[in-house]
Amino acid sequence: MAIDHSTSRMPAYYIPHGAGPCFFMDWNPADTWNNMAAFLKGVRQTLPAKPRAIVLISGHWLEPHFSVTGHARPELIYDYYGFPQHTYELEYPAPGEPGLAGQVAELLGASHIEAGVDPQRGYDHGMFIPLKLMFPEADIPVIQMSLRNSLDPEAHLEAGRAIAALRDQGVLIIGSGMSFHNMRGYGDPRYTPLSAEFDTWLTAAVESEPARRHDLLKQWADAPQARHCHPPRAEEHLLPLMVVAGAAGEGKGSKVYSEQIMKTTISAFRFE
């Protein structure tokens, strides 16, 4: 029996995408990214149906206003540096969907949020690296959505709220970033307790009732150790969470993955 995607309300996810192409190369220690990879590979088994399409918000694309990819066959952007040559030959030929891109821009505009469609922009590694694990067949259309370079958390919460209706159309909304992203902190044991304290706060915020969750995330920079985990003007890896939390509406949020990697706590969250 064919699945009627229109009746399958999708959850929304905030996922970690690792370090560059980390899942597709040797690392030391060799098992550093194994658990994160296993989590990403398992996400599709938690979904009520195969998504009709994916809207993915990456921490690697910032614009003056929200933008979405409008090309029917976006190219890959290998926006990482100093990695083995074979990682610049990775492929992920997922199609775009210009009609959905236009719908996303219209939904944002209807909420008085400036937005546009970029007909040329490709997929960055915040998209294709995790999706190669999550949906390796690359047969689901993907629209990538930018952050706004103001880095205003409330603006991103509102943007998520504006596109929430897509979840009732079989569209999976994914925020791709890292819940800890301070390049100086990775591998430094001094950041182990700092990242754990922030993660405890972040988990409690996500799992709060929706109105409280909104207020806490809007003020995330006041959280314990927040700026040790996401330095000022470098919080772009946390902001995809705000879009996803906005898209959650009245849905419940919960932590679905967490571990210590490179001396820091990294987590993922799901919203019903």
Residue that is written with structure tokens 């029917």 in the block: 72
The b/e string for 71-85 (b: 16+ C-beta within 10 A; e otherwise) is beebebbbebeebee
pLDDT tens column, 209-227:
999 999 999 999 999 999 9
**Which residue has better confidence, 7 or 177?**
177
In this predicted structure, what is the pLDDT of residue 225? 98
pTM for the full predicted model: 0.96
Say how far apart CA 211 and CA 245 lie, in whole Å: 11
What's the rounded mean pLDDT across residues 42-53?
97
Query: How high does pLDDT run on average in the chain?
Result: 96
The strand order across the sheet containing 142-148 reads: 115-118, 66-69, 142-148, 53-63, 171-177, 12-16, 264-271, 253-261
CATH of the domain at 125: 3.40.830.10
First to last CA, the chain: 25
Q: How many structural domains comprise the chain?
A: 1
In this predicted structure, what is the pLDDT of residue 8? 77
Say how far apart CA 10 and CA 30 lie, in whole Å: 34
pLDDT tens column, 89-137:
999 999 999 999 999 999 999 999 999 999 999 999 999 999 999 999 9
Residue 156, pLDDT > 70, answer: yes
Please tell me whether residue 16 adopts helix, strand or coil conformation. Answer: strand
Say how far apart CA 109 and CA 107 lie, in whole Å: 5
Whether residue 136 has a cis bond before it, omega within 30° of 0 = no
Domain ranges, residue 130: 5-271
Closest by Cα among 12, 19, 96, 119 to 60: 19
The b/e string for 2-34 (b: 16+ C-beta within 10 A; e otherwise) is eeebeebebbbbbbbbbbbbbbbeeeeeeebbe
Query: What percent of the chain has pLDDT above 90?
Result: 97
